Amino acid sequence: MHHSLLLTLCGIASALSVPRQASNSTKYAVKTPPLTTPWTYEAGIDPWPEYPRPQLQRSQWQSLNGIWTYQNASSLDAVNSLPSGQLANEVLIPSCLESGLSGIQGEYTIYSWFATSFNVPSTWTGDRVLLNFAAVDYEATVFVNGRNATFHRGGYFAFTVDVTDYLKSDGSNDLLVFVHDPTDSDPYVIPIGKQTLRPSHIFYTPCSGIWQSVWIESAPASHVSQLDIAAGMDGQLNATVSSSGNSTQVQITVIDRKTNTTVATHNGASDVECTFSVQDVSLWSPDSPTLYDITVTLGDDVVTSYTGFRTIARGEVDGIERPLLNGEFVFQFGTLDQGFW
Ligand SMILES: *[C@@H]1O[C@H](CO)[C@@H](O)[C@H](O)[C@H]1NC(C)=O
Ligand SMILES: *[C@@H]1O[C@H](CO)[C@@H](O)[C@H](O)[C@H]1NC(C)=O
Ligand SMILES: *[C@@H]1O[C@H](CO)[C@@H](O)[C@H](O)[C@H]1NC(C)=O
Ligand SMILES: *[C@@H]1O[C@H](CO)[C@@H](O)[C@H](O)[C@H]1NC(C)=O
Ligand SMILES: *[C@@H]1O[C@H](CO)[C@@H](O)[C@H](O)[C@H]1NC(C)=O
Ligand SMILES: *[C@@H]1O[C@H](CO)[C@@H](O)[C@H](O)[C@H]1NC(C)=O
């Protein structure tokens, strides 16, 4: 296989598919990090093209991952005066600003601006357009066409904002994100794991910025805003379908992947836990990781998800307390990969 040739052609194809304005920004290129892997130079500029949230998936969506622009800012007050004109550097989204892959490999990137633009496909049928961030470390203020659409705090959490009211009726929309990531700078004490601005010993280079996927999707006004599903070895399935609007009827369908047949259908209400049983389920285990597909219908919104039927418990085996999977002790064996990203 002419592997590198294929990668080069794919790179050209995706670069051509996105119309790019003449830019004053420094062009994107991977920076040489302290440690490289075979994938450092193969990641390309179309990262994570698959739907980013398999547990609550919609069919009408568009990834905003790829090359954005970035500019260092000087303080928290910068959020009050939006930059005019192009930001200084191209950046790969998603990435940690401190990584070579970001194209920035910054230090002390505490205040940042990120920008891109997007068009909403005219074929989308939902009334609303939802903008999703799978994670931004640590605080994000999101501006759409110059208007403040939302603020979010928490570097490990996904958030969604309905941006319909900020969109232009046609043409390109400007997306600008101000990010504040103090890590362990004085006087901040926030959840950071092992990140530090002064890496040494067992504390590591931090991760700042838009480090998980960004995407838009089409949904009706009343839609599924969250899905919590748990299924046990007894075939019982618990599901809470949260609704963006008023409480309403929902239908949950469980599908056997192997045969593509419906094995259970449950009609219930949104925003309360519902419980039902599926007969003769194949359990999930590492030796046989059987998954079932799930379709949830709430009014005009249809989303897909999946689950495995398994029970995790504590129990005594030969006089010793053990974690049990489906009633049995399974010896845990894996690598310790120490590092932050
Ligand atoms: C590019 O830089 C020039 C000179 O600084 C400026 O006049 C122009 O507005 C910039 N273009 C964009 C798209 O920001
Ligand atoms: C960003 O600005 C801060 C000070 O405002 C500076 O310490 C830091 O080095 C800058 N980082 C980059 C990547 O330019
Ligand atoms: C943006 O809006 C949020 C409320 O959604 C608010 O908390 C935040 O202060 C606003 N930020 C700016 C810079 O206006
Ligand atoms: C489902 O809910 C019941 C009742 O709250 C609970 O006993 C059971 O453990 C739950 N099943 C799972 C898989 O979480
Ligand atoms: C919720 O119900 C109220 C009153 O019936 C209605 O005006 C509103 O449009 C509903 N909201 C949604 C999102 O359907
Ligand atoms: C599974 O069944 C559904 C409905 O019967 C059908 O629309 C779909 O194409 C099937 N999927 C596969 C992978 O066969």
Q: pLDDT for 200-229, tens place per residue?
A: 998 999 999 999 999 999 999 999 999 999
Q: Tell which atom from ligand 1 comes closest to the C-alpha of 23.
A: 13
For range 135-154, the mean pLDDT: 98
Domains and CATH numbers, the chain: 2-219 (2.60.120.260), 224-307 (2.60.40.10)
Please provide the average confidence, as pLDDT, over all residues in the chain: 92
Q: Is the pTM of this model over 0.75?
A: yes
Q: pLDDT for 222-260, tens place per residue?
A: 999 999 999 999 999 999 999 999 999 999 999 999 999
Whole-number pLDDT of residue 1 = 30
- The H or E element that residue 140 is part of is strand 139-144
Position 326 pLDDT exceeds 80: yes
Q: pLDDT for 177-203, tens place per residue?
A: 999 999 999 999 999 999 999 999 989
Residue 247 Cβ contacting ligand 1 at under 6 Å: no
Please choose from 99, 107, 185 the residue to mutate so as to test ligand 2's pocket, defined by most ligand atoms within 8 A of CB: 107
Cβ atoms of residues 208 and 286 within 8 Å: no
Give the whole-angstrom CA distance, residue 218 versus residue 327.
42
Position 163 pLDDT exceeds 80: yes
Return the ∠ at Cα 244 (arms to 243 and 250), rounded to 5°.
25
Closest-CA residue, ligand 4 atom 10, reads 238
Whole-number pLDDT of residue 21 = 54
Position 292 pLDDT exceeds 70: yes
Q: What are the start-end ranges of the H helices in the chain?
A: 3-17
Task: State the number of CA atoms in the 13 A half-sphere of 9 facing the CB.
Answer: 5
Cβ atoms of residues 325 and 314 within 8 Å: no
Closest-CA residue, ligand 2 atom 4, reads 74
Position 285 pLDDT exceeds 90: yes
Q: pLDDT for 85-129, tens place per residue?
A: 899 999 999 999 999 999 999 999 999 999 999 999 999 999 999
Residue 248 Cβ contacting ligand 5 at under 6 Å: no
Ligand 3 contacts (CB < 6 A) are: 79-80, 141, 148, 150-151
Distance 171 CA to ligand 4 centre (A): 48
Q: Tell which atom from ligand 4 comes closest to the C-alpha of 238.
A: 1
Residue 231 Cβ contacting ligand 4 at under 6 Å: yes
